[in-house]
């Protein structure tokens, strides 16, 4: 079973449906016990970083996410969920994140359109099981802030939007995708499927 962590923000059900289309059993839940029993967990998110962290703290799900990551089972952050994995964000002030990955989230700055919205090509930075059998291609982004990992080794894929932009991060069992894989066509669904394949979920349809 795959737990979609429900902290009151995010496209929870579209992610859950995408997981289901890939042949896995998904549950949208805010129950810490249920999350901790899952074979894999996904932290989605749409909205502001500070509000998201406040919701996580209010429900205790911030510690649940940290405990889940410490368990060694696969955890994936999507869009804002990926940004929450980092130590801090400058969105509307300084806000502390989950600190599962060192680095910070900053606003796009320059004389170009913000938010970054649309289809952009991924560049794979280093081999990883999440890229198994896949070629570089385009995925769908919508964001005004972007993550700057402290360590180059945590950067799995980038895209170009007037600069190098973090697209996929990963360290051990913790992964993040800045784009929406469930809205990114065949490549996005394949990346999500490769993440799910890292779990020990027994509900996969064979």
Report the catalytic residues. Answer: 79, 180, 182
Nearest to 142 by CA among 113, 176, 170, 111: 113
Torsion angles phi and psi, residue 64, rounded to 5 = -60, -45
Query: Exposed, middle or buried: residue 152 (CB in 10 Å: 0-12, 13-18, 19+)?
Result: exposed
Note whether 6 and 44 are within 8 A (CB): no
Query: Which bin fits 105, alpha (ψ -120 to 50), beta or left (φ > 0)?
Result: beta
Extract long-range pairs of 161-165: CB within 8 Å, 24+ residues apart: 161/108, 161/112, 161/116, 161/120, 162/108, 162/110, 162/112, 163/110, 165/116, 165/120
């Amino acid at each position: 079973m795959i737990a979609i962590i429900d902290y009151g923000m995010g496209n929870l059900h579209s992610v859950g449906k995408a997981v289901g289309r890939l042949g896995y059993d998904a549950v949208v839940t805010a129950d810490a016990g249920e999350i901790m029993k899952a074979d894999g967990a996904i932290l989605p998110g749409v909205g502001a970083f500070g509000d998201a962290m406040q919701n996580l703290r209010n429900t205790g799900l911030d510690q649940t996410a940290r405990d889940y990551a410490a368990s060694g089972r696969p955890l994936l952050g999507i869009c804002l969920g990926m940004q929450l994995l980092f130590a801090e964000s400058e969105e509307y002030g300084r806000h502390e994140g989950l600190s599962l990955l060192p680095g910070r989230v900053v606003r796009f700055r320059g004389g170009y359109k913000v938010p970054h919205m649309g289809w952009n090509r991924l560049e794979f930075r280093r081999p990883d099981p999440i890229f198994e059998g896949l070629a570089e291609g385009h995925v769908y982004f919508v964001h005004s802030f972007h993550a700057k990992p402290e360590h180059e080794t945590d950067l799995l894929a980038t895209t170009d939007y007037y600069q190098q932009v973090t697209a996929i991060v990963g360290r051990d069992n913790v992964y993040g995708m800045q784009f929406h894989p469930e809205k990114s066509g065949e490549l996005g669904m394949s990346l999500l499927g490769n993440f799910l394949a890292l779990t020990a979920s027994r509900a996969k349809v064979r």
